[in-house]
Amino acid sequence: MHFPDLPLSTPSLLFPAISLLMLAYTNRFLGLANVVRSLHATWRTSGDPALVAQIDNLRRRIGIIKRMQTLGVLSMMACTISMALLFFGNQMGGQIAFAFSLVVMIASLGLSLWKIQMSGTALDLQLRDVERGER
């Protein structure tokens, strides 16, 4: 099976998107890190066992973000390898590397969607506490 030639410009179009996505992932990570630090400080003074569950949820979300970032970096690396292969005339290798880059980026976005759902659930639980009048 023969695929049409992949121009060098096609993988290079992903660079700005991947870079912006990595920035968004980093901002999510830093935001969660601040929340963890705040909750940890509150737990040290209050010893509230409910905070342990929240910190556990945050730990899982941070793990997901780390995997999202790893896949994003792998996508950028594969994209760069694709451009190098295409530059040196290796169409098949460039196409395979570009396809891998796309698959890894889809996986990263899938994790992002999962993390968004987890964050929404965590916020919903806090809102339920407010509705019940808990402190």
pLDDT, tens only, 27-38: 888 888 888 888
Task: Encode pLDDT of 83-102 as tens digits.
Answer: 999 999 999 999 999 999 99
| Global model pTM greater than 0.85 | no
Q: Please check whether residue 1 is in contact with residue 87, taking contact to mean a CB–CB distance below 8 angstroms.
A: no
**Tokens of residue 123, six digits:** 């916020």
95-102: Cβ within 8 A, 24+ apart = 95/3, 95/6, 97/11, 98/6, 98/10, 98/11, 101/11, 101/14, 101/75, 101/76, 102/75
Query: If you ran DSSP here, which 8-state letter would residue 134 be given?
Result: -
